Amino acid sequence: MIKLASSFAAIAALLPLVSAQQSVWGQCGGNGWTGPTTCVAGTVCQYSNPWYSQCLPSSSATGPVTSSPPPSSTVSSSSSVGGGGGGGGGATPTISGGLPGATGTQKLNTVAKSAGKTYFGTATDNSELSDSAYIAILNDGTMFGQITPANSMKWDATEPSRGSFTFTQGDQIANLAKSNGQLLRGHNCVWYNQLPSWVSSGGFNAATLSSIVTTHCSTVVGHYKGQTYAWDVINEPFNDDGTWRTDVFYNTLNTSYVPLALNAARTADPATKLYINDYNVEYAGAKSTALQNLVKSLKSAGTPLDGVGLQYHMISGSMPGGLASNIQAFTSLGVEVAITELDIRMTLPPTAAKYAQQKTDYQTVISACKSVTGCIGITIWDWTDKYSWVPSTFSGQGAACPWDATYLKKPAFDGIVAGLG
């Protein structure tokens, strides 16, 4: 069974090209790019802009030959990058790889609440909960005021065969949140991936599939009634060009599965906030526009919808502009926004300069949320590189989380604090 750390992960993992090397002239990077990030022998991946890097023959490549943009200035030390405060004023500790770590000693949920946000949280997964050093940090509600189960509330985990529901794994995360006093985001109800074949290949007609969707959302959301802050009811409904994803739900029910699932969730738990969650909607473009149009049409039809989740699986050094205005475009439609799956990956191995860039990038994302009142909370897609989904999904990429694999805080931690400051 696929057990990926992220909803987004599955898309890339299912593409055979991901672990292959790109051929000459092919794309090898860029914001939102989920294909190969390394090039065949004799070629190099050259950055051209935040959205496009290309495999060029080694002889014709010029300038930096990575899929990330060149640093804006020559970085001689990490101390000048980022700015805006955020350090705790102590000496810079050394973390794994002999690299400079974070100086801050703040607690992120405490800082987020001081900044007017509802929570700062993290994804987690059942397989990580036997790691006592991991748990010691995860359980600190002043650091993480919210958790999201990375896998154990998805359709394949909760209804592996029709009408047969299993909640053991999901309950473990829900109970952990409860005992830690943390908010819980349910994730997720209707998604084309990690979807059992009895649904995707069942050949059901519209009436039967409607009943299956209603039963699934009612039962899963209802099981956690009173325990969640919010639910990602609809996950990743759009293609990157803003057209509807042609999964079994759309192909059978057209767009009607969206209000169907939202209404079922509202009935099952009137208090939880109902979200639509997607990626590559963090910046202005066709996909963000499509999601805004969906929000408008659901709102005008009176369909229950409370929030939009922007995932934010980003690439360090390739941060698009206009993040705050994009968030504002959603909140002005009468929904709240949450950053739901934040991580910022880099080409391995990390260096002090790459960590400094990543710190700046975390600060950029967090400050965008900070600046918009309706952006209510931030969830990182696990807090430690030890359990990040990135290296197994994007060949040669990783180090995307604010803590390194030995649980030491990276400069990115200071970037988060600075962004909330």
Ligand X SMILES: *[C@@H]1O[C@H](CO)[C@@H](O)[C@H](O)[C@H]1NC(C)=O
Contacting residues toward ligand X, per CB under 6 A = 254-255
Q: How far is the CB of 294 from ligand X (least distance, A)?
A: 10
Q: Within a 13 Å sphere around the CA of 123, how many CA atoms are in the beta-carbon half?
A: 31
Q: Based on the residue annotation, tell me whether 236 is a catalytic residue of this protein.
A: yes
Pick the closer one to ligand X by CB: 200 or 297. Answer: 297
Q: Could you tell me where the beta strands, DSSP code E, fall in 58-213? A: 94-95, 99-100, 119-124, 146-149, 183-190
Measure the CA–CA gap between 76 and 413, rounded to whole angstroms: 20
Which residue of the set 159, 282, 336, 341 is catalytic? 341
Given the complex with ligand X, which of 158 and 292 has the nearer CB atom? 292
Q: 336 an active-site residue? A: no
How far apart are CB 237 and ligand X at their closest, in Å? 13
What sections of 197-350 are H helices per DSSP?
197-200, 206-223, 248-253, 257-268, 286-300, 323-331
Q: Could you say which of 159, 236, 282, 336 is catalytic? A: 236
- Least CB distance to ligand X at residue 200 (A): 20
Q: Which is nearer to ligand X, 237 or 317 (CB)?
A: 237
Nearest residue (CB) to ligand X, 262 versus 327: 262
Q: Which residue is nearest to ligand X (CB)?
A: 254
Give the shortest CB-255-to-ligand X separation in angstroms: 5
Q: Considering the complex, what minimum distance in angstroms separates the CB of residue 249 from ligand X?
A: 12
The least CB distance from residue 256 to ligand X, in Å, is: 7
Phi-psi group of 67: left, alpha or beta (phi > 0 → left; psi -120 to 50 → alpha; rest → beta): alpha
Closest distance of CB 206 from ligand X, Å: 10
Q: Is the dihedral of CA 187, 192, 197, 203 positive or negative?
A: positive
CA distance 174 to 269: 15
Which residues face 121 on adjacent strands? 146, 379
Distance CA 45, CA 66 (A): 5
Measured from the CB atom, the residue of 80 and 243 that comes closer to ligand X is: 243
Torsional sign, CA 193, 196, 199, 202 = positive
Decide: helix, strand or coil at residue 258: helix
- If one counts every other C-beta atom within 10 angstroms of the C-beta of residue 275, the result is 29
Structure tokens at 1: 């069974």
Indicate the residue among 77 and 254 with the shorter CB distance to ligand X: 254
Strand partners, 148: 123
Preceding peptide of 349 cis, ω within 30°: yes
Cα separations in angstroms, 291 against 64, 238, 254, 297, 381: 36, 8, 16, 10, 22
Active site residues: 236, 341
